[in-house]
Amino acid sequence: MLKFKFTLKGDEGTKEFTAGRSSLWKATEEGAKLPDSPVKSAKQDYMWVYFAAQQNGLLGELGVPDGASIGEAIDILADSYDYDIEQAKDDAPLASAHAK
| Structure confidence at residue 66 (pLDDT) | 95
DSSP, collapsed to helix, strand or coil, labels residue 40 as helix
pLDDT truncated to tens, each residue of the chain (100 aa)? 789 999 999 998 999 999 999 999 999 999 999 999 999 999 999 999 999 999 999 999 999 999 999 999 999 999 999 999 999 886 555 545 554 4
Report which of 10, 29, 20 is spatially closest to residue 70, judged by C-alpha positions: 29
| Structure confidence at residue 90 (pLDDT) | 67
| Structure confidence at residue 92 (pLDDT) | 53
- Alpha-carbon gap, residue 58 to 63, rounded angstroms: 9
| Structure confidence at residue 88 (pLDDT) | 86
| Structure confidence at residue 63 (pLDDT) | 96
- How many C-beta neighbours within 10 Å does residue 23 have? 23
